[in-house]
């Protein structure tokens, strides 16, 4: 039932009074189920399990894009550079496979976006040296990472609600421009669980903090639920280039100033993608939006190409998350680019300190 309600929230417009009335009872049932489940774990009635290695969870309290995947990539890259054998454990949302799949052993990629899901496939392609495993049971995935690849650190991708597995650092990611999903749980709002669930966070990561937002409101909510001791860190992303999907050559975003482009994406928050293009002066003459995690067909891409030709576009632009799902797709002669982004912050040192302290603490506990 929970997954059905989540899918419904993504695909249904809840702005009309009739729709809200029809969804009220399913929404309350879902809310009750989440509250009971959380209470069973918090009271110890349902058991949490631990992995041998340090476990770092990165997750959301809302549906839709918050920049979580970019943060997971940043953390995995940093820890790998520090010499830790690192794994990313993901459910692999919307993948076509079941059970456990080794997406990457750090040296070779074994699963494409259909078997792994788009986000794990993207992470595997961008993180050589990092093990990526998808499994509905993240504990089982972690065991495989430890026994087969001797991983010392695990990053739970989208792990905030995965209460079955204990974590040594619980990072909650919220979007500065829509931090709490309207204050209502799905399907009437975008909250995955009641707002008080943020009390489980060891740190709050506010993404897109370079955009206008109500910082006082966010801090008031966090302090009310979590107290004064939970750190709040601010991050944002910047565009570093656009990759030509045919040649892999990287162009500077400034080269697209005043160029007519057609944009397409399948994201939780596609508006941020469009704002990035507009920020660099691109003339977005047409936009195609698909549901989050959508798998493209050649027919859909052909329709996008035809529309680009019709409006006189000079290029088609998509995201890196979408680009991993376009292998084998024919784009004819029109150039197609994927937007390259990376995360930045004045709080990088604070985040790195939290990560290293959690790993060190876990090592000390193992020695006892």
Of the pLDDT bands very low, low, confident and very high (cuts 50, 70, 90), residue 10 is very low
User: What's the mean pLDDT when you consider all of the chain?
Assistant: 93
Instruction: Round to whole Å and give the CA distance between 244 and 327.
Output: 13
DSSP string, 33-86: HHHHHHHHHHTTSSPPB--SSEEEEEEESBSS--SHHHHHHHHHHHHHHTT--E
Determine the average pLDDT of the residues in 81-97. 96
Average the pLDDT over each of 102-106, 115-119, 182-186 and give the range with the smallest value.
182-186
Residue range 229-258, pLDDT digits in tens: 999 999 999 999 999 999 999 999 999 999
Work out the pLDDT band at 280, boundaries 50, 70, 90. very high
328 Ramachandran zone, left/alpha/beta (phi>0; psi -120 to 50): left
CB atoms within 10 A of CB 266: 21
Mean pLDDT confidence for 165-173: 97
Kindly report the length of the chain: 368
At residue 8, the pLDDT reads 41
Q: How large is the average pLDDT for residues 98-125?
A: 97
Residue 15's pLDDT band (boundaries 50, 70, 90)? low
- Checking if the pLDDT of 101 tops 50, the result is yes
- 294: exposed, middle or buried (C-beta count within 10 Å: 0-12, 13-18, 19+)? middle
Domains of the chain as residue ranges with CATH: 54-84+152-235+345-367 (3.40.50.300), 238-342 (3.40.50)
Check if the beta carbon of residue 86 is closer than 8 Å to that of residue 80: yes
pTM of this structure: 0.92
Specify the pLDDT at position 332.
Answer: 80
* % of the chain at pLDDT higher than 90: 85
For position 61, what pLDDT does the model report?
96
């Amino acid at each position: 039932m929970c997954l059905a309600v989540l899918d419904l929230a993504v695909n249904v417009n809840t702005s009309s009074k009739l729709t809200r009335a029809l969804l009220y009872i399913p929404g309350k049932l879902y809310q009750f189920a989440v509250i009971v489940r959380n209470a069973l774990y918090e009271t110890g009635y349902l058991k949490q399990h631990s992995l041998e290695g340090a476990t770092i969870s990165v997750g959301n309290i809302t549906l839709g894009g918050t920049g979580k995947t970019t943060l997971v990539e940043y953390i995995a890259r940093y820890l790998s550079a520090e010499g830790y054998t690192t794994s990313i454990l993901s459910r692999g949302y919307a993948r076509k496979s079941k059970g456990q799949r080794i997406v990457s052993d750090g040296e070779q990629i074994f699963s494409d976006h259909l078997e792994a899901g788009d986000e794990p496939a993207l992470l595997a392609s961008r993180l050589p040296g990092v093990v990526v495993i998808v499994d509905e049971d993240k504990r089982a995935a972690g065991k495989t990472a430890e026994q087969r690849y001797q991983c010392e650190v695990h990053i739970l991708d989208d792990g905030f609600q995965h209460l079955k597995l204990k974590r040594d650092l619980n990072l909650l990611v919220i979007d500065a421009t829509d931090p709490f999903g309207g204050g209502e749980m799905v399907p009437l709002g975008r909250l995955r669980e009641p707002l008080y669930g943020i009390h489980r966070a060891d740190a709050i990561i506010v993404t897109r903090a370079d955009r206008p937002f109500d910082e006082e409101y966010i801090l008031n909510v966090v302090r009310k639920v979590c107290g004064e001791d939970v750190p709040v860190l601010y991050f944002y992303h910047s565009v570093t280039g656009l990759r030509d999907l045919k040649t892999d050559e990287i162009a500077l975003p400034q080269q697209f100033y005043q160029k007519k482009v057609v944009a397409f994406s399948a994201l939780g928050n596609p508006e941020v993608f469009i704002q990035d293009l507009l920020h660099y002066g691109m003339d977005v003459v047409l936009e195609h939006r698909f549901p989050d995690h959508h798998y493209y067909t050649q027919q859909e891409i052909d329709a996008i190409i035809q529309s680009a030709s019709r409006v006189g576009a000079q290029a088609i632009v998509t995201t890196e998350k979408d680009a991993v799902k376009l292998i084998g797709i024919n784009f004819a002669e029109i150039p197609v680019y994927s937007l390259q982004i990376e995360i930045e912050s004045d709080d990088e040192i604070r985040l790195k300190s939290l990560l290293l302290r959690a790993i060190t603490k876990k090592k000390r506990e193992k020695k006892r």
